[in-house]
């Protein structure tokens, strides 16, 4: 997938704002030479070391966490900036590419991950065609969010619901095998994990 003009303009704009040195650092950190974001398995770590927003977590691979948080925390929604990473559960992630990279998905790339104590393996990645292990197409659900939410579903944004309660997502986050400090799971947590078939 190539980079088009508007994506390059976007980087040029970032460069003007930050100065050439900062742009070079950004490029070294995660953007490929053509302006596309270079995302690999190492970009996905312990979910709870990301920044919590209501029930989910966000980060920014280009170091612009403030811009990501400004949209995530906005009551009016908005368009997430390039580099944004969003996760609700350890096994699924969305990453925002530079503007114009994939118009259909509004530049979101969808990932299904296999997290383990060694890190994350990428099971599937892509744009409108990624299907999770339960047979669900990520894009088909997320595109139903009202446009102002930029494909972020939460609850009440218009997406079809997923069969996970807030308690279930919380315990899946807590049991993320990528986190160093194994957080103490309560007996209730373990019951929930068993119910989810994730207790091993
Ligand atoms: C059946 C529809 C459906 C499918 C399929 C689906 N999702 Fe979601 N997803 C949702 C809903 C609904 C939420 C919000 C759940 C909540 O907050 O309780 C959500 C939450 C998320 C979030 C947290 C941000 C948000 O939108 O609330 C991410 C990231 C995410 N999903 C990624 C994915 C990825 C990646 C895939 C495919 C591998 C996928 N989802 C498949 C419906 C779906």
Helix 166-174 vs helix 187-196: angle between axes, to the nearest 10 degrees? 100
The residue extents of the domains of the chain are 38-149, 166-196
54 Cα: distance to centroid of ligand 1 (angstroms): 14
How far apart CA 14 and CA 12 sit, in angstroms, is 5
Mean pLDDT, residues 156-167: 94
Q: Which atom of ligand 1 is nearest to the CA of 110?
A: 35
pLDDT in tens, 12-25: 444 444 455 454 44
pLDDT in tens, 76-126: 999 999 999 999 999 999 999 999 999 999 999 999 999 999 999 999 999
Q: Which atom of ligand 1 is nearest to the CA of 151?
A: 26
88 Cα: distance to centroid of ligand 1 (angstroms): 7
Whole-prediction pTM value? 0.85
Rg (CA), the chain: 17
Hey, which of 56, 153, 160 would you mutate to test ligand 1's pocket, going by the most ligand atoms within 8 Å of its Cβ?
Answer: 153
How far apart CA 27 and CA 34 sit, in angstroms, is 10
130 lines ligand 1 (CB under 6 A): yes
Q: Which tokens go with 49?
A: 């070391």
């Amino acid at each position: 997938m190539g980079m088009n003009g508007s994506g390059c303009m976007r980087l040029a704009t970032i460069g003007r704002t930050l100065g050439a040195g900062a742009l070079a650092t950004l490029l070294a950190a995660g953007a490929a030479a053509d302006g596309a974001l270079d995302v690999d398995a190492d970009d996905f770590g312990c979910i709870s070391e990301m920044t919590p927003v209501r029930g989910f977590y966000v980060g920014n691979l280009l170091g612009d966490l403030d811009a990501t948080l400004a949209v995530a925390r906005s009551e009016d929604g908005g368009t997430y900036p390039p580099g944004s990473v969003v996760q609700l559960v350890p096994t699924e992630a969305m990453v925002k590419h530079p503007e114009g990279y994939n118009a259909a998905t509004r530049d979101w790339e969808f990932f299904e991950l296999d997290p383990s104590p060694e890190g994350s393996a990428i099971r599937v990645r892509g744009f409108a065609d990624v299907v999770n292990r339960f047979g669900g197409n990520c894009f088909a659900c997320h595109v139903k969010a009202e446009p102002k939410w930029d494909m972020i579903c939460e609850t009440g944004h218009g997406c079809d619901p997923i069969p996970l309660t807030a308690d279930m997502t919380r315990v899946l986050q807590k049991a993320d095998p990528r986190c160093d400090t194994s957080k103490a799971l309560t007996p209730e947590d373990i019951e929930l994990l068993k119910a989810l078939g994730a207790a091993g």
